[in-house]
Amino acid sequence: MSGDGRTTGRVLFVMPQMPWPATQGTALRNFHLMKAVADAGFEVDLIAFGDTRLSIPVEIAALCRVIEIVPVPMRSLMARLRTFLAGEPDLAWRLSSPEFSSRLDSMLCEREYDVVQIEGFEMAGFLLGPGALRREAWDRAPWTLVGHRAPRIVFDDHNAEYQLQASASRVDSQRPRRWLRAIYSWVQASRIRRREALYASAADACLAVSDEDAGLLREIAPGVSVEVIANGIDVPSYRASASPTVPP
């Protein structure tokens, strides 16, 4: 909060799961990033996949002004096969959800955001994928339709996903019984590499958890802005990378 009572800005977090309990992995990182933003004076909103039958944890409710929870989508084997045959990276479609897309659009229309922070590769397609970029190019982005300023899009790439798939392929290739898995991972690594490069290039800024991951991201998307914020969150670095300029 600024000295005259105004918030520093408004940030929307887009997450693959509720960031509570914040005990490990993705939830731990996401919760502390969100808390750091709220503590820095930003107004925070959240949209995430989760169990809609459960009440919102008080720890999350204390940080967020608006919270939208969307049921986790079920993806059939046939849908995965169609994705594979279409040449698409499976991970990019793992959380595909028309309901999530619709509710995200509604939030972007109803509230004007300075920053939208996307947590993880699986979520990036909603605003940085080919369809989303075409929509923005044709002036059909949600914020454009209602006359809002375009928010800065921050892509928090929790892992260099293409490298994880490539590593899995190398490991499985050493065991003949896992050669099919090795081939699948090799195919996915190539597809994910192209999509991860697109997401990073399309975002206004990227976050990585380590210097190694940042280097891998810059390798496939030269010139992108990547800020390293380890899971032991460095709040000053985060503020510098995500802070918008908010007009008075």
With left for phi above 0 and alpha for psi between -120 and 50, is residue 25 left, alpha or beta?
left
pLDDT band at 75 (very low <50, low <70, confident <90, very high): confident
CATH code of 10-160+199-242, in short, is 3.40.50.2000
Question: Does the pLDDT of residue 5 top 70, yes or no?
Answer: no
Question: Does the pLDDT of residue 237 top 50, yes or no?
Answer: no
pLDDT tens-place string over residues 43-56: 999 999 999 999 99
127 vs 172, more confident: 127
| Six token digits for residue 159 | 């892992």
Question: Does the pLDDT of residue 87 top 60, yes or no?
Answer: yes
Q: Report the distance separating Cα 59 and Cα 44, nearest Å.
A: 13
* Strands (E) located in the chain: 10-15, 43-49, 64-70, 115-119, 152-156, 205-208, 226-228
pLDDT at 239: 52
pTM of the full structure: 0.87
**DSSP-derived pairing of the beta strands 205-208 and 226-228:** parallel
pLDDT at 4: 43
Q: What is the 3-state composition of the chain as percent helix, strand, coil, each rounded to the nearest 5?
A: 50, 15, 35
pLDDT at 7: 62
| Six token digits for residue 68 | 């939208």
pLDDT at 159: 87
Q: How many CB atoms lie within 10 A of CB 100?
A: 21
Question: Does the pLDDT of residue 178 top 70, yes or no?
Answer: yes
pLDDT at 244: 54
pLDDT at 236: 53
pLDDT tens-place string over residues 14-62: 999 999 988 878 889 999 999 999 999 999 999 999 999 999 999 999 9
**In the chain, where are the structural domains located?**
10-160+199-242
Question: Does the pLDDT of residue 64 top 50, yes or no?
Answer: yes
Q: Report the distance separating Cα 224 and Cα 229, nearest Å.
A: 16
Q: Report the distance separating Cα 212 and Cα 119, nearest Å.
A: 18
Question: Does the pLDDT of residue 112 top 50, yes or no?
Answer: yes
Question: Does the pLDDT of residue 234 top 50, yes or no?
Answer: no
Question: Does the pLDDT of residue 245 top 60, yes or no?
Answer: no
Quick one: what percent of the chain has pLDDT higher than 70? 90
Total count of residues recorded for the chain: 248
Q: Report the distance separating Cα 84 and Cα 88, nearest Å.
A: 6
Which strands form 43-49's sheet, in the order they lie side by side?
64-70, 43-49, 10-15, 115-119, 152-156, 205-208, 226-228
